[in-house]
Amino acid sequence: MASTAAESGGGLVARVRARLPVTNRRDNIAGWLFISPVLLWILVFTAYPLISSLYLSFREWDPLFTDEYVGLPNYAELMEDRIFLTAYRNALVYAAITIPLGLVWGMSVALAVQHIRGRAFFRALYFLPTVTSSVAIAIVWSFAYQQDYGLVNSLLRYVNVQGPNWLGHTQWALLSISLVVVWAGTGFWMIVFLAGLLDIPPEYYDAAKVDGATGWQSLWRITLPLMSPTIFYYITNALITVWVQFEIPFVMTGGGPANATLMPALHLYREAWDRLKMGYASAMAWVMALIIFIITALHFGLSRRWVNYDR
Amino acid sequence: MASTQYKLPTLAEARRQVFATIKYALVVAGGIGTALPFIWMVLSSFKTNADIGRIPMHWFPAEWVPQNYAKVFEIMPFARFYLNSIIVGVLTTLGALLICSLAAYAFARIRFFGRDIMFMLILTTIMIPWWVTLIPAYLVIRQLGWLNTYQGLAVPGMLNIMGIFLLRQFFRTIPPDIEDAAFVDGANRLQIYARIVLPMAKPALLTVGLMTLMGSWNSLVWPLVISQHESMQTLPLGLAVLANLAGWVRHETGALLAATFLSILPIVIIYMFLQQYFIRGLALSGLK
């Protein structure tokens, strides 16, 4: 016994160290010093603003003249603010278009590109909009949607379809913007989905083939159930980002025509910086946070029914 | 279902072929759809404004006019926008790499009181929608007198929670023996972090650095609230403001497209050379 202890000297030291209190003074100081810059940033730019915006949301406040406690009326006013409600209705429509379409399209492309020659090339190409600024995308697409000489209607003309005034018509503007967002996000999600697909052991498919399953059956019984954590991640992300979309409508339509593309974040920005109603805008921000929180909680709760984590 | 088993092999083969063709067609069509707006942008940036507005649209310039690229600098302080974007991007990236790697190293390697709780707390701040903190964060910058300054534009963006997480994961993969040897030689924590850990973490630092740089280069909202003077606008902000001026767009489409193209060029070039770092970084970053 004595000889084994001597032999495994390193192991013994490690074991003794493991038994000791996990921390010591020098490490405590060093650790807190190392994280102190990040803590400073979080205090100044996250924690304090979080509390401050809750405080502001109960006040009538602008940076120059007014600072007055009003209590809940900011929130009450929101519920009667038709433009606020319009912004959320638009966001719902936008969510109903972008979330399913982005999922189906991104997944289709990922499935199709999976075993294709030139996969790396296509992956790189599809990813290009992800590295491009939203502003650049919005500028190019606002020309692409131009009624007469725009790219979209010019292509439609090749097949003898007369396209509408995409961004100028209340009926089409929100759809147009949603399609741009799906277009811009495809590459990113394709790569996320592709990573999930490549994680599925090929033996599963071989076994299914031996049992006589068709490709369609394999897709529904193997691929999609095993992809459910990735799909869950997609939906989680989408349920947050739909409410904070700003750049594309800001540049392409400014929320118009007739508020048809007004989004919650754009409305918040206008109230805070164009009309300087920062208390009211803070109440809007908290309603947005609450909605995101509730939806995310519901989504997590429901996920137990369909997300499959055992592989 | 059973019938598929009795199909002739040639038929199954043909079916497979058809399926493969459909897949290829889908990918190629989507690829063309992705590329066309970019191609149109570049080609149109060499057209005269009248040429861009010609109906029906045609792809190639009737006459190539590189003058649009000169005009970019006349109709807006484009060089200034560019310089601002570069300064803000570099400051943000370097600052983020410093503060995030320090924290990530502590979370990965140092056993200190409250470490795990602090790590969880910091990670959960990712869940806060940033529109909630935007107004007071702007007021903080205003209080500091940092409106229309580079520090006002760059400093808040240095906090990259996802970057802390990614770097911590990477630091944990570095064998601790190397650090232990340095300890024996009398090195302190800071020396180990700076001389041993950071040099070994170059790929992870590059990934986080590129994520931060890209975020800063492309961001609109923060510059929009911080830079009220035209001289402090960054590229996306300058372009967004100009694109919203209806009359201007109608008259100088070619120059606006040239400016847009020039504005995305640096990131696109970096992306072409360092693709795998971008893809890894973004695929790992949960909530963009």
CA distance to A81, A85, A206, A243, A289, per residue, from A293 (Å): 22, 18, 42, 11, 6
Q: How many angstroms separate the CA of residue B184 from the nearest CA in chain A?
A: 14
Cis peptide before B223 (omega within 30 of 0): no
Q: Does B221 touch chain A (CB under 8 A)?
A: yes
Q: Does A37 touch chain B (CB under 8 A)?
A: yes
Of A35, A49, A128, the CB nearest to B34: A128
User: pLDDT tens, A156-181?
Assistant: 988 988 889 999 888 999 999 999 99
Q: Is the pLDDT of residue A100 over 50?
A: yes
Span of A2-6, A183-187, B181-185, B193-197 with lowest mean pLDDT? A2-6
pLDDT in the model for residue A311: 54
pLDDT in the model for residue B178: 83
Q: Is the pLDDT of residue A4 over 50?
A: no
pLDDT in the model for residue A3: 41
Give the mutation candidate from B18, B122, B130, B135 for the A interface (greatest A CB count, under 10 A): B135
User: pLDDT tens, A13-68?
Assistant: 666 555 555 457 788 899 999 999 999 999 999 999 999 999 999 988 777 767 77
Domains and CATH numbers, chain A: 2-56 (no CATH), 73-306 (1.10.3720.10)
* Dihedral sign of CA atoms B194, B200, B202, B207 in order: negative
Residue numbers of the domain that contains B28? 3-68
Q: Which CATH number belongs to the domain containing residue B199 in this structure? A: 1.10.3720.10
pLDDT in the model for residue B286: 44
The number of folded domains in chain B is: 2
B240 contacts on A by Cβ (under 8 Å): 135, 138-139, 247, 250-251
Residues B103 and B240 grouped into a single domain: yes
Of B16, B47, B68, the residue at which a domain comes to its end is B68
For residue B234, give the nearest of B95, B130, B79 by alpha carbon: B79
User: pLDDT tens, B177-201?
Assistant: 888 888 888 888 899 999 989 999 9
pLDDT in the model for residue B2: 47
- In this complex, do B268 and A131 lie within 8 Å of one another by their Cβ atoms? yes
Cα-Cα-Cα-Cα torsion A71, A75, A81, A82, nearest 10 degrees, comes to -170
Chain A (229-258) residues lying within 8 Å, Cβ to Cβ, of chain B: 233, 237, 240-241, 243-244, 246-247, 250-251, 254
User: pLDDT tens, A273-290?
Assistant: 999 999 999 999 999 999
pLDDT in the model for residue A231: 93
Residues B206 and B254 grouped into a single domain: yes
Residues B47 and B127 grouped into a single domain: no
For residue A239, give the nearest of A95, A85, A69, A84 by alpha carbon: A95
B34-47 average pLDDT score: 94
Residues B139 and B224 grouped into a single domain: yes
Residues B230 and B258 grouped into a single domain: yes
Residues B143 and B93 grouped into a single domain: yes
A217 contacts on B by Cβ (under 8 Å): 1
Residues B96 and B42 grouped into a single domain: no
Q: Is the pLDDT of residue A5 over 60?
A: no
Q: Tell me the whole-structure pTM to 2 decimals.
A: 0.88
Give the mutation candidate from B18, B34, B165, B239 for the A interface (greatest A CB count, under 10 A): B34
Residues B228 and B173 grouped into a single domain: yes
Higher confidence at residue B281 or residue A146? Answer: A146
